[in-house]
Amino acid sequence: MNERIFTAIGPCYEDVKDHLFDQYKSPAFNDGSGLSTEALEAGFIEILEAGKDEPRIALKARLFGYVLENARIDVDPVDWFADHFDSADKILYRQVEEWRKEASDGPAKNAADVIGRAKATGAFYGELDLGHISPGWRFLLKEGVQGIIAYVESLKEAAVRDGAEKSGDGASASDKVLFYDSVLSVYDAMLLYMARLETEARRMITVHPEAEDRMEKLAGCLNALRHRAPETFYEALQLSYLFHQLIEFEGEWVRSMGSFELNFGPFYEADLASGRITEEDARELIRFYWMKYYANTRGSGNGKNFYFGGLTDEETNGIGPLTYLALDVFYELNQTDPKLSIKINRKTPEKFKRVIAKCLRDGRTNMVIVNDDETLEAIRKRGVSKEDSYEYLLIGCYEPAIEGKEVACNMCIKFNLVKAVELALFNGTDPMTGERIGIDTGNSEEFTTFEGFYTAYEAQLQHQLELVQQAIRDYEGLWAMINPEPFISGTFIPALQNGRDISQYGAKINNTGSMGAGLANAADSLLAIKKTVFEDKRYTMAELKAMLLANFEGSGRDRLYLLNRVAKWGNNDAEADAMALRVANSYTSRVNGVPNGRGGIFTASIFTLDHSFFLGHTTGATPDGRAAHHYLAKGIGAMTGMDKAGVTAQIESVSKLDFTNIPNGSVLDLYLHPSAVDGEKGIDTLIQLIDTYFSQGGYGVQFNILNAEDLKMAQKHPEDYATLQVRLCGWNVYFVTLNEEQQNHFIETTMQVV
């Protein structure tokens, strides 16, 4: 039997968790291990100035390596993992933002101006999304740093040997060599960085002799990872976290850590079989590992996403012993981070469902549950092969992308679906600012039919989409100037084989996400116009517009009528549901398949996230009865307070959508009172709700299980409710950290939940 890796020597997680929580707030860098922050930044600027004429990717690689070689480092003697270095306040990310500004002030100025005007009016917001990306986890864990280096060296040798210049989409031999040299440069820097961490871990033994056992094991782990691929559970966790940190240092935000089971399960099971580890050892490692992510966000960020479950082929789910162990630790920790994506399908074991439902019932709601079968169909519908489709992960909140093959840029566009209603009402003029941002679709008071008005709505929708899509194309053409990414590109097999950085569209799939926000508000507003102006003739168009411009001042009864007497999306009302489906189709048909600027297509999502507040602040009063500046509907379901027929009716409404036409993701937010899911019957209730929604073709669902009275008390006495979690959108936060508007949103939403 192999020697046990872990022993009881050293402090356990419970003893040091508060200290670990502050590790990024107060790192203890060894001043003798590198340059001071000021000297490091000065050297960085010197390289930057001297390299102005270098290819941007080569300069980026040199800057990356310079910091990893010269920054001060810190190894905590009570931690099982090492990763701390002085990034000089994220100096490389700040430089990426400078290059972004350089592009916005120069070749992308027109695009930046278009986006700036639209953002000010709440029509849309767009950007080159560097924040929704994931490396090829299984490739990098299989090969390790040395394996990737060896593979890149072989590709470089082939490019040099070939030497043939290629035209068109293919990279020339010289361009390939430049790319491969940049990848090799950053991976050599990673090896040096790991060697420095190893040396510091060994120094800790002399400074903290009580930590000898832990630091010897950490140093041995780092030494092994410098020379070969990971072979143990511990080594795989350490390597994955180093990659996470260095990708984010490079200038991207890692929004998916992939499948916990598929990434780490084989290592765990091999360790168990050989006797190198026990189940309790693994639990302790997971506790320390997940604390790294929690300490990074401190309970207020977007969260780090791991997924569990999901088909790996027609018959097999990616569920194993590590799945249940990790979910048990997740339940025990009860933290906002990490967050989980849960894949449920026709083959999912009942045991797995019950574990997930128990977490939800007991307040561990920082997870989204997605319909694996529906997702696979949607992915294949947009052209992904059946084989590749099983490799999807959820990036960010709900958006599927193919691991190691797709750069999906899921949040390039945040589009306000209800703004086009305003523009159709006011003939292209934004009523909030008086600025003409739309096109001439005619005086709405002269329309004689609702169909005429809806044609105007679609024309305004089309115009705004064309504006933002072209702006994003302009930015995509400048990606290699803004942020070349040789480090994360080294984990994408297609990019390596193509000899092109992912900023130069080296990935196999290069799509662009487009988020449609406020579906409920748009659909409810259009139905209100249809019913009250054209059918019932309760108001003239001029009267309705006057009410909206006055923000219902003096028209309180009319506002109540619009709010309560006109059918609303999310109540299984045939007419309201038909309008929502029509709006969704008008949007998705103008997004899906439209060419982007990097050889892929735009793909539609429908959700709003916390953009519901910003977009609402820049949207006037709307015909659904919503007041000016008020937030928009948050997910794909009903507007807050408008789902009066209950949870089942909302599920019936939302499941009428064709989610295969929403390939970039969506989510239904469900709010339940704790009493509705109490005990074992509560677990059954949650499973039944999820199964019902998915059996009808629904895509993603997430829960808030809250009592309005508790929220009111938390608002008055935050010190007594410091750990009360709420599902903000695609992540959880502590209720007491929200601003008053956001807190009131949750109170208003849960008031009707019984």
What are the phi and psi torsion angles at 469 (to 5°)?
Answer: -65, -40
Q: Give how many domains the chain has, as a whole number.
A: 3
| 692/584 same-domain check | no
| Stretch 111-121: mean pLDDT | 96
| 435/504 same-domain check | yes
| 491/606 same-domain check | yes
Q: Is the pLDDT score of 218 beyond 80?
A: yes
- pLDDT score, position 721: 85
Give the Cα-Cα-Cα angle 58, 137, 605 (nearest 5 degrees): 90
Domain end point (choices 225, 253, 281): 253
**Residue 119, domain member (yes or no):** no
Q: Which residues contact 600 (CB under 8 A, 6 or more apart)?
A: 505, 509, 510, 511, 512
| 662/695 same-domain check | no
Lowest mean pLDDT among 323-337, 526-540, 727-741: 727-741
Give the residues across from 515 on adjacent strands.
414, 605
| 645/727 same-domain check | no
Domain end point (choices 234, 253, 272): 253
Q: What is the mean pLDDT of the chain?
A: 95
**Residue 276, domain member (yes or no):** no
**Residue 114, domain member (yes or no):** no
**Residue 279, domain member (yes or no):** no
User: Is the CB of residue 38 less than 8 Å from the CB of residue 72?
Assistant: no
User: Is the CB of residue 229 less than 8 Å from the CB of residue 141?
Assistant: yes
pLDDT per residue over 471-503, tens digit each?
Answer: 999 999 999 999 999 999 999 999 999 999 999
Higher pLDDT, 734 or 699: 699
Is 602 in a helix, a strand, or coil? strand
Reported confidence tier of residue 1, pLDDT bands at 50, 70, 90: very low
Q: Is the pLDDT score of 271 beyond 80?
A: yes
Q: What is the 3-state secondary structure (H, E, C) of 531-551?
A: HHHHHCCCCCHHHHHHHHHCC
Reported confidence tier of residue 163, pLDDT bands at 50, 70, 90: confident
Give the residue numbers spanning the domain of 31.
1-106+136-253
**Residue 524, domain member (yes or no):** yes
Reported confidence tier of residue 8, pLDDT bands at 50, 70, 90: low
| 688/662 same-domain check | no
**Residue 340, domain member (yes or no):** yes
Give the rounded percent of residues in the chain with a pLDDT score beyond 70: 98
pLDDT per residue over 714-754, tens digit each?
Answer: 899 888 888 888 888 887 888 888 888 888 888 888 876 65
**Residue 94, domain member (yes or no):** yes
| Stretch 551-576: mean pLDDT | 97
| 193/340 same-domain check | no
Domain end point (choices 666, 693, 723): 666
| 646/704 same-domain check | no
Q: How far apart are the first and last CA of the chain?
A: 57
| 366/417 same-domain check | no
Q: Is the pLDDT score of 7 beyond 80?
A: no
| 589/499 same-domain check | yes
**Residue 606, domain member (yes or no):** yes
| 200/324 same-domain check | no
- pLDDT score, position 3: 60
Q: Work out the burial of residue 643: count CB atoms within 10 Å of its CB; fewer than 13 is exposed, 13-18 middle, 19 or more buried.
A: buried
| 539/643 same-domain check | yes
Reported confidence tier of residue 168, pLDDT bands at 50, 70, 90: very low
Instruction: Tell whether pTM > 0.85.
Output: yes
